[in-house]
A and B are shown apart, each in its own frame.
Chain A
Amino acid sequence: MTLTAPETSTRSAPAAPGRSRSTLARRLVAYGYLSPTVLLIVVLMVVPIVMVIGYSFRDNVIVQENSVFAGFANYTKVLTDANFLAALKNTAVFISVSTMAHLVLGLAFAMMLNTPLLGGVTKAIFRIVYILPWLFTIAVIAVIWRLLLDPAGVVNHVLQTLGLIQEGVNWFSDPGMALWAVTFVNIWAGYPFFMISLLAALQGIPTDLYEAAAVDGTNWFQRFLHVTLPQLRPVIISMAVLDLIWTSHQFALIWMTTGGGPLNSTEMLSTFTYKQAFSEYEFATASAAAVIVLLLTMVLAFFYVRSQREQ
């Protein structure tokens, strides 16, 4: 109280030049603190994005000094490229199936780890087992699954021993199988993040709600449908949108397992863009593809921000 009173009187009085400078300096200090972060964001995010957008409207960028304005030619080229359209379709399948499976598996495992039916030690063991895939880097995951899914690998051996298949399956090198194989690996690598987040959310649901529902004579499924899911809804929406965004950017796993092959059956927007830039040196079309990916991602980001605001 004693501190606020003099400050109020200062504000009401005409500002002296010295005090005005002091106020300005005080404000600048805040900007001074922000400046390293702002500088980093500008240098590492704003400038590259603006440059890529600029490149997408020019021809022969980077590799030639005299590039010319090309209008929307690069966008037309990319959007009419059969490989890009195939990559778009593959990416849509890859991210939608991955996100759906992440959600279902993550929720199932989270509910298992949250159930009172299991003891503390059992839960701890399963918690470690289930979270293991999350601890590996993508490079390790790619190597592990390349070995496991090799035509002469463990998976085929087990399936053959069980009599489920007659001949070894070429999981990654069969054009009809490869997209499902990389999607499976991505699901395996990504579900723990969903599981952990949903487990935290499950533990935050008040037990009163379940008790009230039980008193009303509901069964397990009804409680899941009318108590658990509505309570988890904000988390599920946020996680799903974030996962769609992250999975759409998945490059390393695809590159290290199939490289976008065989016969472009696992070509994604990320691998398509990379090949345009670093194999064909078509940085202008690569930039156009990157801008299209950015726009698609922004649509997802819009839904994410909106869901956050609603919460």
Chain B
Amino acid sequence: MMFRATRLRRLAGTVTVAAMAVSLVACGSDDATSDGTVTLEFAQWWGAELPAGEFDKIINDFTAQNPGIKVKLLSAPYASTKQQLLTGAASKTLPDVVGLDGAWVNDFAEQGAITDLSKLMTDANYDASQLASQVQVEGKTYMIPVVNFVYPLFVNKDLLTKAGVQNVPTTRTEFLDAAKKISASGGDVKGWVLPLDTAVPNGVQNDVMSWLWASGGSMVAAGKPNLTSAPVKSTVEYVKSLNDAGVIAPGSLTMKEQDKVEKFTNGQVGMMIDSLAHINLIKKNKPDLNFEVAALPAEDGYTGERGIPYASWGIGISDSTKHKAEAFKFVSYLMSQETNAKLSTIANGFPGNKNAEPDFDNSDPLFKTAFDIYQQGYPANEFVGLPKSEDLMRSFAEQLQLVLTGKSSVDDALAKSQENWSSVIG
């Protein structure tokens, strides 16, 4: 009996160790099967933001057309995807195809984590002229924007009317005036909302620098920061004037983007700059909210084209993947006229393929309005392609917070920001 028990224990121990060894070996196995089928892993946050099952349909169409390639979707919310890709890039274990934000591209490219798409396009004889834009680092393309989401001005028409403002503001002076009147219309309502949270500091990009770009300004000149220039100073002084006038919703120093949308949806603020992608969310949460979208107000007297901030669902390919050709085939499919139009339509965004046209027939009319605004201006986001762009935004946000709390002058804050940025992109 004892010998049998001992043998059993030995057997159990051996099996345990063997099982662990096998499982560890399995972790490192290749993703190409014996019949030649290649499985591409595609990590992105898009699937989590699209209506359930819609992205799967697009992927299934691809696999039906390409029987030798399977696509395994790794869908997670934006923040989780970012976290996973950051660690994956650092350890050179990125999935084969990755969803990218323009703000990450420079860092991933510098780390050698994502591959040069220019070469893959040449190898595949791909016609790059159909692409609306490409994100490049040192002349090489590393990201292709698949769908673009613009950030127009959202205006609560009921609050505007209640405040006695007849027209949607088109200049900074009109905006300040409207914001003052809305803030004076009673209750806890404020004219504008400014999220300056430093955990995810994209408020600097979407809600502050957007004022600069709307007036044709630029924060970078010849590849170097240009924060002490007159247009940037004018922008920061304008934001400060809004703060001094008491028209910004309280709590902005730690406010997040979702708080901004929530305050607008609840009628606590009259105007905000926000992604077009949130239209459906706002209408779902408050179907009777009477709002419209408009171009961002520009400096008084400005008559040039207005830059409109945008964010993209970009795509890139891991440098360490063994299946670059198959991965690029998948990218080409997503960027094809038909698929790209379909994807932008369900995403409520604008296509990355110039020839693709989103179908507005079943969309909210506001999307068509926004598309017109988009076509009249130009997409502007100078943070795309910059190194450590999130860190640049954060250091700028901290200086702006000092200005808004009266602890620093605009000049000092911009000089300090210029110094901070110069150490990164100088």
B16 within 8 A of A: yes
Among candidates A26, A62, A63, A173, residue contacting B251 with C-beta atoms closer than 8 Å: A173
Tell me which of A32, A173, A262 contacts B250 (CB under 8 A).
Answer: A173
A36 touches B20 (CB 8 A): yes
A146 to B405, CA, bound (A): 21
CB atoms of A152 and B188 under 8 A apart? yes
The interface-forming segment of A84-92, A191-199, A278-286 is A278-286
User: B401: CB under 8 A from chain A?
Assistant: yes
List residues of chain B with CB within 8 A of the CB of A36. Answer: 16-17, 20
B17 lies within 8 A of A260 (CB): no
Flag B22-46 by CB within 8 Å of A: 1 or 0 each.
0000000000000000000000000
- B391 surroundings in chain A (CB, below 8 A): 275, 279-280
Q: Is the CB of A259 within 8 A of B200?
A: yes
- Minimum CB–CB distance from A172 to chain B (whole Å) comes to 5
A258 to B256, CA, bound (A): 9
Indicate whether B164 reaches chain A with its CB closer than 8 angstroms: no
Contacts of B9 in A (CB 8 A): 29, 33
Q: In the complex, which residues of chain A have a beta carbon less than 8 angstroms from the beta carbon of B299? A: none
Report the bound CA distance from A260 to B16 in whole Å: 45
Query: Which residue of A29, A168, A173 is within 8 Å of B253 (Cβ)?
Result: A173
- Whether B13 pairs with A150 at a CB distance below 8 angstroms is no
The answer to whether the Cβ of B363 comes within 8 Å of any Cβ in the partner chain is: no
| A151 in contact with B251 given A259-B199, A262-B401, A279-B394 (CB within 8 Å) | yes
Partner of A261 from the list B16, B90, B107, B198 (CB cut-off 8 Å) is B198
Q: Is B303 engaged at the interface, CB distance under 8 Å to the other chain?
A: no
In the complex, what residues of A have CB within 8 A of residue B326's CB? none
- A114: Cβ under 8 A from any B Cβ: no
Q: How many angstroms between the C-alpha atoms of A168 and B268 in the bound complex?
A: 14
Chain A residues within 8 Å of B401, by CB: 261-263
Check: B111 CB closer than 8 A to any chain A CB. Answer: yes
Tell me if A178 is interfacial: C-beta within 8 Å of chain B: yes
Q: What is the count of residue pairs linking A and B with beta-carbon distances less than 8 angstroms?
A: 104
**Distance of A123 Cα from B6 Cα, bound (Å):** 52
- Cα A30 to Cα B242 in complex, Å, equals 72
Known A-B contacts A261-B401, A275-B394, A283-B90; the reply to A29 vs B250 at CB < 8 A is no
Whether the pair A168, B20 counts as a contact (CB closer than 8 A) is: no
| A63 and B107 in contact, given A32-B17, A173-B250, A280-B388 (Cβ under 8 angstroms) | yes
> Nearest Cβ in chain A — how far from B101, in angstroms?
14
Confirm or deny: B402 has a beta carbon within 8 angstroms of a beta carbon on chain A: yes
Distance in angstroms from B187 CB to nearest chain A CB is: 10
B405 touches A175 (CB 8 A): yes
Instruction: Assess A152 versus B268: contact at CB under 8 Å? Given A36-B16, A170-B250, A175-B405.
Output: yes
Known: A63-B107, A152-B268, A263-B398. A258 touches B13 (CB 8 A): no
Contacts of A260 in B (CB 8 A): 198-199
In the assembled complex, the Cα of A264 lies from the Cα of B394 at a distance in Å of: 11
Please give, as numbers and ranges, the residues of chain A lying within 8 Å of B96 by CB-CB distance.
none
Q: How far apart are A287's CB and chain B's nearest CB, in angstroms?
A: 12
| Residue pair B112, A65 in contact (C-beta under 8 Å) | yes
> Which residue of chain A has the shortest Cβ distance to B398 in the bound complex?
A263
Interface string of B279-304 (1 = CB under 8 A from A): 00000000000000000000000000
| Interface residue A98 (Cβ < 8 Å from any Cβ of B) | no
A180 close to B (CB within 8 Å): no
Closest residue of chain B to A26 (Cβ to Cβ) is: B6
B14 contacts partner chain A, Cβ-Cβ < 8 Å: yes
**Within 8 Å of chain B (Cβ to Cβ): is A39?**
yes
- A261 close to B13 (CB less than 8 A): no
B250 to chain A: which residues have CB within 8 Å? 151-152, 168, 170, 173
Complex alpha-carbon distance, A258 and B388, angstroms = 21
Q: Which of B249-269 contact A (CB under 8 A)?
A: 249-255, 259, 268
Q: A185 CA to B359 CA in the complex, in Å?
A: 47
Secondary structure at the B interface, as helix, strand, loop or mixed, is helix
Q: Please tell me the number of chain A residues within 8 Å of chain B, measured between CB atoms.
A: 39
Q: Is A63's CB under 8 angstroms from B111's CB?
A: yes
B110 interfacial by beta-carbon distance below 8 Å: yes
A304 located at the interface, meaning its Cβ lies under 8 Å from any Cβ of chain B in the complex: no
A32 near B254 with CB under 8 A, answer: no
Q: Is B322 an interface residue, CB under 8 A from the partner?
A: no
**Which residues B101-158 have CB closer than 8 A to chain A?**
107, 110-112
A35: Cβ under 8 A from any B Cβ: yes
How far apart sit A301 and B391, CA to CA, in the bound complex (Å)? 34
Q: Check B16–A33 contact: CB distance below 8 A.
A: yes
Partner of A33 from the list B13, B249, B407 (CB cut-off 8 Å) is B13
A25 at the interface (CB under 8 A from B): yes
Chain B residues closer than 8 Å to A256, beta-carbon distance = 199
In the complex, A152 Cα to B405 Cα: how many Å? 20
Docked complex: B2-17 residues within 8 A CB-CB of A: 6, 9-10, 13-14, 16-17
A184 interface contact, C-beta 8 A? no
- Contact at A261–B254, with CB atoms within 8 Å? yes
Given contacts A172-B254, A261-B253, A263-B398, contact A29 B13 (CB under 8 A): yes
B16 lies within 8 A of A32 (CB)? yes
**Closest-CB distance, B385 to chain A (whole angstroms):** 15
Task: Indicate if A257 sits at the interface (CB-CB under 8 A).
Answer: yes
Closest to A61 in B: B90
Smallest beta-carbon distance A166→chain B, Å: 14
Contacts of B188 in A (CB 8 A): 152, 168
Assess the A279–B197 pair: CB atoms within 8 A: no
A25 proximity list for chain B (CB < 8 A): 10
Given contacts A62-B90, A152-B188, A259-B254, 8 further A-B contacts (CB under 8 A): A25-B10, A35-B16, A35-B17, A63-B107, A150-B251, A168-B188, A170-B253, A262-B254
Q: Would you list 14 pairs from A and B whose C-beta atoms are within 8 A, ordered by A residue?
A: A32-B16, A39-B20, A62-B91, A168-B250, A172-B254, A175-B405, A178-B254, A257-B254, A258-B197, A260-B198, A262-B401, A275-B391, A280-B388, A280-B391
Give A contacts to B, CB under 8 Å. 25-26, 29, 32-33, 35-36, 39, 62-65, 146, 150-152, 168, 170, 172-175, 178, 255-264, 275, 278-281, 283
Q: Which 8 A-B pairs have the closest CB atoms?
A: A259-B199, A32-B13, A262-B253, A151-B250, A173-B253, A261-B198, A173-B254, A151-B251
